[in-house]
Amino acid sequence: MYSFFKTDDSWAGLILRVVLGGVIFAHGAQKLLGWYGGSGFEGTMGFFTQKMGLPWLIAFLVIIGESIGSLGLLAGLFTRFTAASFIVIMAGAIMTVHLPQGFFMNWFGQQAGEGFEYHLLVIGMSLALLVVGGGKWALDGVIARWLGERTASPAPKAREASFALRMF
């Protein structure tokens, strides 16, 4: 568990997770709450399950991953798990929707849909977070320090037994 939460005190991890968390939060809020011109939970579930044919569980996990996961990422809580989930979500979006449109976004309205360049950026940022962790001011760091202290100091009975063995 310690390795899962371990992070350094870098600015890079902080910058990556705050920017990525903020951008993904806007997309998640569209899907969950209907903010920023989104369809909200029911509309998004309907679109994902009926129009796209995704299983309801996958649709639900995408909505929750982007909305609740992004809040966790902003706080630096479960950074590696959230980053991995973003990789899965974006890879799924590329494979199910964006790959046929090509690399570039639909800047001039001449494509049938959006390309996958945004999704690759999210995957790249998420991969970096998988490697470095949440960085400075991440709650993961607090948990890692707590776990490290628990494993570094043996239990009182173990210390007593160790002392007793050294006596002989």
Structural domain range at position 142: 2-167
Query: What is the rounded average pLDDT of the residues 32-43?
Result: 98
Structure tokens at 101: 């449109």
Average pLDDT, whole number, for the chain? 91
SS3 90: helix
The whole model's pTM is what? 0.86
Domain count, the chain: 1
Q: How far apart are CA 143 and CA 77, in angstroms?
A: 9
Per-residue pLDDT band for 168 (boundaries 50, 70, 90) equals: very low
Q: What is the pLDDT of residue 150?
A: 79
